[in-house]
Amino acid sequence: MTPATLSFADPLRRQRGSVLIIVLWICLGLVVLVLYFADSTNSELQAAANRVGEIEARQAVAAGTRYTAYILNNYAIDGVVPDSGIPPEPTADYYSEALQVGDDPGDPRFWFIGRDVNNLPTTEPVFCLVDEASKLNLNTATATMLAALPMTNMTSDFAAAIVGWRTRQSQSSGSALSSAYSTLNPPRLNKGAPFESVDELRLVYGATLDLLFGEDTNLNGTLDPNEDDGDQSPPHDNQDGQLQPGMFEYVTAFSNQPTTTRTGGPRVDISNLAPNNPNFQRLTALLTRKGISAERGAGILQNLNRARPQRAFTSGADFMLASGMTESEFALIHTSIMSFSSAGLINVNTASETVLACIPGVGLSSAASLVTYRLANPTALTSLFWITHVLSPAAIRRAGPYITDQSYQFSADIAAVGRFGRGYHRERVVFDTTMGMPRIIYRQDLSSYGWALGTQVRKTLKTAKP
């Protein structure tokens, strides 16, 4: 090879090397673009799958709403609270957890987040429908009853402010209260009308998030990990291993009793049973219609006439004591009578010990005794009569205007996930059954409150295979 040939070949070789390097850079750039677009496509795919999962979860909540209407229409009859269970429990009126919407094992599922009114909250949720009559009604509870709630920051001033919010003020007496509300940001007026929802408490003078939520920031009645870690994560808690709920746990704005029977006829108003009053004739006919003999019915009416001149019957419990009826007799008619007020009565069959303790005539010690008796005698809860085994007649008469043995409003706190656990949605739906067919009277989206199904459900869903 001659030197001339070498001098001619070297530039050509260098040129080919440069072209190779340029080609490699172009290839590298193309690879980067492919990876970028592949990652973007994958992100869009994941985002689309998440959106689909959220839509599936919403549809599962809608299925849970329809299922709730079916449950209440078939099992919540004459104020009875349906019994929940876990499949395949044969005695349950309905199932309440991991209910599948579809036939495939990976299809969307929903849960009814509820409460165990007989036990303290645990680290895992309880699943069932919630009886609204198991709570204090913001529109009828007295300031003393509200002040008896166990939150450490509950004060008599705030209880009085709640009563003041719902009470129509005269121009003179309302000026001071209106002045207090005008100093708030934003300024507002005292409502002077009934509460329309529990969340309306946020507007009451003196309300704080700590007072309303307590440690239960996601309102699921469960001690979640972030609610028992001190100041490591919100909310602030005392890290004592027990849930300290706020006021939202114990109050409602929806409990009410119907003034008619299941067949549509008027209930007997026991507040006026004078012999010349139509209610007296209705009661006489009711006793006969329920199979009570004429002789026994005459004895019951005589007992009532003997007691009536001393006082008007202020409640179903007072009527029950005065009539001298047996447990089985009172169970026949208790859904066909009504007292002077039918709004805001507390169901002693389902109320928690905390709520029972707020009722006049009950208190802490008797509330615990009532819960103990309920647990030991579940078949006795057919009417109010069972409380005669726990409370004295004087205590029953004092508590009577605030208690009932029937429930006609139920809330379904429905949390759902989409296929294979993807997506999450939660809604609280309140149903009213006073008119027969269940109807929705309130709906609230709780998805923004975060995961509410506990750690065990989360672990189970993570094992789902797509």
In this prediction, residue 174 has a pLDDT band, given cuts at 50, 70 and 90, of: low
Whether 6 shows a pLDDT value over 60: the answer reads no
pLDDT at 264: 84
The rounded distance, in Å, linking the Cα atoms of 246 and 229 is 18
- Give the best-scoring range by mean pLDDT among 157-171, 218-232, 326-340, 413-427: 413-427
The rounded distance, in Å, linking the Cα atoms of 73 and 80 is 11
- Closest by CA to 67, choosing from 94, 105, 48, is 94
For 347, phi then psi, to 5°, come to -80, 110
In this prediction, residue 45 has a pLDDT band, given cuts at 50, 70 and 90, of: confident
- Closest by CA to 59, choosing from 114, 13, 110, is 110
Place of tokens 């179903």: 316
Q: Which long-range contacts (C-beta less than 8 Å, at least 24 apart) are formed by 447-451? A: 449/217, 449/218, 449/219, 450/217, 450/218, 451/218, 451/424
Interval 255-313: pLDDT, tens: 999 988 888 888 999 888 888 888 889 999 999 999 999 999 999 999 998 887 666 78
The rounded distance, in Å, linking the Cα atoms of 4 and 261 is 117
Whether 422 shows a pLDDT value over 80: the answer reads yes
Place of tokens 């004092």: 398
pTM of the predicted protein model: 0.88
Interval 207-252: pLDDT, tens: 999 999 999 999 999 999 998 888 888 888 888 888 999 999 999 9
Mean pLDDT throughout 379-386? 93
Q: Where are the beta strands (DSSP E) in 326-401?
A: 337-338, 346-347
3-state secondary structure of 453: coil
Specify the higher pLDDT residue, 89 or 66.
Answer: 66
3-state secondary structure of 251: strand
The rounded distance, in Å, linking the Cα atoms of 163 and 165 is 5
Indicate the residue type of 244: Q
The rounded distance, in Å, linking the Cα atoms of 11 and 8 is 7
Q: How would you class 52 by CB atoms within 10 Å of its CB: exposed for 0-12, middle for 13-18, buried for 19 or more? A: middle
Whether 171 shows a pLDDT value over 50: the answer reads no
Q: What is the DSSP letter of 250?
A: T
Indicate the residue type of 32: V
Whether 16 shows a pLDDT value over 80: the answer reads no
Whether 378 shows a pLDDT value over 70: the answer reads yes
Indicate the residue type of 385: F
For residues 84 and 114, the answer to whether their CB atoms sit within 8 Å is yes
pLDDT at 175: 59
Mean pLDDT throughout 393-405? 95
Mean per-residue pLDDT of the chain: 89
Whether 33 shows a pLDDT value over 90: the answer reads no
For the record, the structure tokens of 104 come out as 């495939």
**Three-state secondary structure along 4-30?**
HHHHHHHHHHHHHHHHHHHHHHHHHHH
